[in-house]
């Protein structure tokens, strides 16, 4: 094969590769849907409801938090419009090392929770300082719903 014949084949090879890539991208493309029309809600699925918490002491369970501004009980099937939802960032697993605590030895992982900010302020019982959050919510007690 001479050099001059190789020069003639290179443009054809690039042309064929371009056509193959164009066709395959059209066939295999994922259509990007606009997220401006869909809304994300959180629905409580736990049979007895759940607590939203503000405390980052993960091993400290909601019944041990007495201030209504630090916890919020939510019954089953309630839905809340979400502004943002993400796993907690910059936090490590917490292990209770206090021998006098009933949670001694427990380890709670931030990955088991979501950090949620709501679109509208939520009120809990007689709570006076209702706001949008952030609240920490146990993932297994809720589900995301898009509408």
Q: Distance between CA atoms of 95 and 82, rounded to whole angstroms?
A: 30
Query: What digits encode the pLDDT tens for the residues 46-91?
Result: 999 888 887 665 555 666 676 767 788 888 999 999 999 988 877 7
Q: Distance between CA atoms of 110 and 144, rounded to whole angstroms?
A: 18
Query: What digits encode the pLDDT tens for the residues 92-133?
Result: 787 778 888 777 877 777 788 888 999 988 877 666 556 777
Per-residue confidence (pLDDT) for residue 33, from 0 to 100: 40
Query: What digits encode the pLDDT tens for the residues 36-48?
Result: 567 899 999 999 9
Q: Distance between CA atoms of 88 and 114, rounded to whole angstroms?
A: 6
Neighbours of 78 (CB within 10 A): 14
Query: pTM for this structure?
Result: 0.63
Residue 136 burial (10 A CB sphere; 0-12, 13-18, 19+): buried
Per-residue confidence (pLDDT) for residue 20, from 0 to 100: 66
Q: Distance between CA atoms of 39 and 31, rounded to whole angstroms?
A: 19
């Amino acid at each position: 094969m001479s050099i001059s014949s190789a020069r003639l084949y290179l443009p054809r090879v690039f042309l064929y590769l371009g056509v193959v890539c164009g066709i395959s991208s059209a066939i295999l493309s994922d259509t990007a849907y606009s997220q401006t029309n869909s809304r994300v809600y959180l629905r409580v699925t736990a049979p007895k409801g759940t607590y939203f918490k503000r405390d980052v002491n993960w091993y400290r369970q909601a019944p041990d938090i007495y201030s209504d501004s630090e916890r919020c009980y939510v019954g089953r099937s309630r839905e809340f419009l979400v502004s943002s939802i993400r796993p907690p960032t910059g936090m490590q697993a917490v292990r209770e090392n206090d021998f006098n605590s009933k949670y001694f030895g427990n380890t709670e992982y931030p990955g088991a929770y979501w950090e949620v900010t709501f679109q509208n302020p939520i009120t809990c019982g007689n709570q006076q300082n209702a706001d949008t959050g952030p609240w920490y919510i146990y993932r297994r007690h809720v589900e995301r719903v898009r509408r």
